[in-house]
Chains A and B, each alone.
Chain A
Amino acid sequence: MNESLKCQVLVVGAGPGGYVAGIRAAQLGLKTIVVESDKAGGTCLIRGCIPSKAIIHAADRFDSLRKHSTEEGHMGLSVSGEPEVNMSALVSWKDSIVERLNKGVEGLLKAAGADLIKGWAKFDGPKSCNVRTSDAEIRIEAENVILATGSSHIDLPFMPCDEEFILSSTGALDLDKLPKSIAIVGGGYIGLEIGCALAKLGTDVTIIEGMGSILEIMDKEIRRPLELWLKKHGVAVHTDSLARGAEMKGKGASRKVELYFERDGEDHKVKVDKILVTVGRKPNTKGWGLENMGLRMDSSGRFIRIDRKCRTSIPGVYAIGDVSGEPMLAHKASAEGEMVAEIIAGHKREFDNVAIPAIVFTEPEIVSVGLTPNEAKERGEEVIVGKFPLAANGRALSLEAEKTGGFIRVTARESDHVILGIQAVGSHIAELHGEFVLALEMGSLLEDIAGTIHAHPTMSEAFHEGVLKTLGHAIHIS
């Protein structure tokens, strides 16, 4: 069966960029088609942010249970017997969450009036494509196209993922059995998040990082509590180390994989149950006819080039999310998707955000919004910086959130006290970031935050205190 469709907005990809664009475009009364070959939700929802957060939460629970199941217990609470991990049950629980969200997204698209077509789009011109579905070939001609094709895992050519012994993040979130040991190649946020979770579940974790330190995107001070946690929990971290290859060892149930890596010119190896490769992600620019659209790529040649309205070099063709540039973050894609739908509907919009927050869900969690003190100085700003430790926050103590050595750091311009950036590290700190971004978007001064009552007892008081500290008069720290 072949049919031919016309629409005002064609969205390619139903990830956090595409589905938001689709819902918003349909809300605005535009005839909208969203094409997705997998389940709606994208990497984020199906095999990224959400699944990993579910497993991280479960791992955290397990870690607590273990403390309570020791002989002396913990907080006066003890559990008899060893807690156990049933990995396949844990993965099904995670899958149930993914399933709910996936159905939720599909329901939202439908309710808004957007058509979701399951199939693979292949463009033969800037605004026309054929979509191969399970039983048909559908021709779509669109007035506007929103490319939201996302990104995917980067393989190491000398040890490609088989998802059995050598895993990508997708495989690592779908394990049927908890590995006794794992080597993670790439100490970026994806590898570290999964590494922390597996370490909490009891896996021996080794991290192989090519750079001089893990999580290079964050500054040293912010990284420190995470590095300490990894050390304390027996995670071996090899920096300045390059993976050189992997080889299968043993047979049957005892089959393992040996990872070879090079450090300071010396060869090392580690024998593990699994290897996880998290060396980065690449924009999905192949296999869907990009080459037939004639779009201009950016200066790196990796991403589709866009302007502040997410317009590509061809009028009426937009690109959002991971395929159009860094930072590759779901919330950036969603913001762009919403914006582009409104631009197509005739609204005056532009990507003018002050900050795109970045969060790493390791133990402890790490948040960065706006500039770090060094970045601000590099831009020629005279800054004042204040830091407030969670150890001086009552609520953090009651949550044991201070144990990971966390703090909130505020950077402001010295001359007018405009807040330029906020970084925070600590258990449970991620949920505080909303106030940080809001402060930046609103153009807040230190005095704005200082003059806002923060409820006691909450961890958000630590932000208030961090600001007071920057002003030179914190209350709960001398």
Chain B
Amino acid sequence: MGNFVFKLPDIGEGVVEGEVVQWHVSLGDKVAEDDSIVDVMTDKATVTIPSPVAGVVSSLSGDVGDMIAVGSTLLEIDVEGSGAKSESEKETTESEKAEPGSKAEEILEPEPIPEPEPIPEPKSSIDREPVNEPEKQDLEVPSKVQSPSSRSVLASPAVRKRAREAEVDLGSVRGSGPAGRVRHADLDAFIAAGGAISGAAPTSYHEKRTEVTPVKVVGLRRKISEQMTISKSRIPHFSYFEEVDITELESLRKILNATKDDNQPKLTYLPFIMLALSKIMPDHPECNALFDDDNGVVNRHSAVNLGIATQTDRGLYVPVVKHVESMDIWKAASEMQRVSGSARSGSASLDELTGSTFTITSLGREGGLGATPIINHPEVSILGIHKAREMPVVVDGQILVRRIMNLSSAFDHRVVDGADGASLIQHLKRMLENPALIFM
């Protein structure tokens, strides 16, 4: 048996480290070539890394939540046959180095993250926590140290056994015995009350809730947390709000949707806003830019690559529609649906998740008047759009019912002045209120 050392491959785009989000294999598992091994999250995306060889996993490096540097050992696989070591090691190193761009897609094949680990053959054992979860394992040692700790529940072995069988967490049962000892009667009462009331003799039905549930900030959540911290601590935001009368836009949208071909996507407001932005950006180059603040350079982009903030089951993703300036309304709509769809399903490629120059976030499916969106660093502008609704509006001295949409925006005041930001939004407002301009 040769030993194949698998190192975290260079997955391109300047990624230098990845966070282990989930292992798909345990020590001793047999893996076939291309079986999923591990989900690793980088700055850009979560990718599932497949096994380059077949064999038996002989060591894993890193627990969930650990950062692994590119090039450091991720796992070792015992490979059948001799001489496999040097050969396969060499092979990967070469292929890693070859063309990070094209290779990345081969290696990376992103997949939805939280495929719950298949609980392995619990025919007879009640596997609730898989053994390879490090947090659980940490309990192992203290439990065997001979001591009643101050945190442990005071209860006799018979009570503990009954509780385990009834799947009752004794910590949530109030003990009526001395020093809070949980007696059989306490457990009886707890079970009889369906676990709702703790203790044998409840004195109040409005019990104080004291439970604290620690949730580890790992994976995407940690990425979001870091990204938000960078954005909010580095960028002096200024926010700007406006309301837009989209009555005209709404009629145009309705006509287009009513007359569209079957193979054309149904239009929401978003493609119109995207198109309008792409149209006006040449007049506002300071807003369609990336600020390399470490080097003091603002890179103004001529391409309008719009990040579309997308809420997924796993958290916030920002897939990107590239070169909106080259699109018509239908193309913009279908591209937007496609990339946000792949973000939701978890199949977005690295390319689809990077390269935006400006971000749009839809804040208002449920309502809401305004918000202060956080700029997607290193971008310099972000636009939030709110739910449109019918409003009484004074037009030429008369109260009319008009369709109004609120816009919230934020700009990096280091490189975008208030007047510039306001000017972009006002220009956008003109376009949206007179939608013919979008198409001229």
A346 vs B126: C-alpha distance when bound (angstroms): 6
> Closest CB of chain A to B3's CB: distance in Å?
12
Complex contacts, A381 vs chain B, CB 8 Å? 150
A307-B136 CB under 8 A given contacts A349-B164, A354-B152 = yes
Are the C-beta atoms of B124 and A417 separated by less than 8 Å? no
Chain A residues whose C-beta falls within 8 Å of the C-beta of B149 in the assembled complex: 379
The residues in B between 26 and 45 inclusive whose CB is less than 8 angstroms from any CB of A are: 26-29
A307 to B157, CA, bound (A): 20
**Interfacial chain B residues near A344, Cβ < 8 Å:** 124-125
- Give the complex CA separation of A294 and B164 in angstroms: 31
A443 touches B27 (CB 8 A): no
Q: B124, A350: Cβ atoms under 8 Å?
A: no
Given known A-B contacts A294-B58, A306-B140, A418 and B125 have beta carbons under 8 A apart: no
Contact, CB under 8 Å: B144 / A325: yes
Would you list which residues of chain A between 227 and 270 have a CB under 8 Å from chain B?
Answer: none
Is B155 engaged at the interface, CB distance under 8 Å to the other chain? yes
Which of these binds chain A: B115-123, B276-284, B395-403? B115-123
Please judge, given known A-B contacts A294-B56, A296-B132, A315-B120, whether A416 and B179 are in contact too, CB under 8 Å: yes
CA distance A371 to B152 in the complex (A): 14
Q: Does B57 belong to the interface (CB within 8 Å)?
A: yes
Which among B147, B157, B164 has the greatest number of chain A C-beta atoms within 10 A?
B147
Q: Check: B139 CB closer than 8 A to any chain A CB.
A: yes
A82 at interface by CB-CB < 8 Å: no
| A420 vs B148: C-alpha distance when bound (angstroms) | 6
Residue of A nearest to B120 (CB): A315
Q: With an 8 A cutoff between CB atoms, is A327 at the interface?
A: yes
* Contacting residue for A418 out of B123, B139, B179, CB 8 A: B179
How many of chain A's residues touch chain B, expressed as a range?
35 or more
A307–B139 CB distance below 8 A: yes
Q: Which of B56, B129, B143, B146 contacts A370 (CB 8 A)?
A: B146
Residue A468 interfacial (CB < 8 Å): no
Is B160 on the interface with A (CB-CB < 8 A)?
A: yes
Q: Specify the chain A residue showing the minimal Cβ separation from B78.
A: A294
Contact B147 A371 (CB under 8 A): yes
Task: Tell me whether A445 is interfacial, beta carbon within 8 Å.
Answer: yes
Is chain A's binding surface mostly helix, strand, loop or mixed? loop
Distance (whole angstroms) from the CB of B134 to the closest CB of chain A: 10
Give A320 Cβ to nearest chain B Cβ, in Å. Answer: 12
Query: Does B165 count as interface, using CB distance less than 8 angstroms?
Result: yes
Contact with A along B161-195 (1 / 0, CB 8 A): 00011010000000001111100000000000000
Nearest chain B residue, comparing its CB with the CB of A315: B120
**Residues on A with beta carbons closer than 8 Å to the beta carbon of B423:** none
| In-complex Cβ contact of A371 among B129, B143, B146 (8 A) | B146
| Nearest chain B CB to A90 CB, angstrom units | 34
Q: Does B127 sit within 8 A of A, measured CB to CB?
A: yes
Known: A8-B124, A445-B179. Is A313-B132 also a contact (CB below 8 A)?
yes
Measured CB to CB, the closest approach of chain B to A241, in angstroms, equals 30
Which residue from chain A places its CB closest to the CB of B28 in the assembled complex? A294
Q: How far is the CA of A448 from the CA of B125 in the complex (A)?
A: 37
In the bound complex, what is the Cα–Cα distance between A59 and B156 (angstroms)? 39
In the assembled complex, the Cα of A355 lies from the Cα of B121 at a distance in Å of 32
Is A89 among interface residues, defined by CB-CB distance under 8 A?
A: no
Check: B154 CB closer than 8 A to any chain A CB.
Answer: yes
**A371 and B64 alpha carbons, distance in the complex (Å):** 34
Q: Are B57 and A418 in contact (CB under 8 A)?
A: no
Q: Mark A407-428, 1 if CB is under 8 A from B, else 0.
A: 0000001001110110000000
A277 → B minimal CB distance (Å): 28
A116 to B182 Cα, complex, angstroms: 42
Query: Is B137 part of the contact surface with A, judged by Cβ < 8 Å?
Result: yes
A65 at interface (Cβ–Cβ under 8 A)?
no
Taking A294-B27, A355-B147 as given, write out 4 further A-B residue pairs in contact, using a Cβ cutoff of 8 Å, ordered by the A residue number. Answer: A307-B137, A309-B125, A325-B144, A352-B164
13 contacts between A and B (CB under 8 A): A295-B28, A307-B131, A313-B27, A315-B122, A316-B121, A325-B144, A348-B164, A352-B164, A354-B146, A370-B147, A440-B148, A441-B157, A443-B148
Residues of chain A touching chain B, judged by Cβ–Cβ distance below 8 Å, are 8, 30, 126, 143-144, 293-296, 305-309, 311-316, 325-327, 332, 343-358, 368-371, 375-376, 379-381, 413, 416-418, 420-421, 440-443, 445, 447-448
Give B contacts to A, CB under 8 Å.
26-29, 56-58, 120-127, 129-132, 136-137, 139-141, 143-144, 146-150, 152, 154-157, 160, 164-165, 167, 177-181
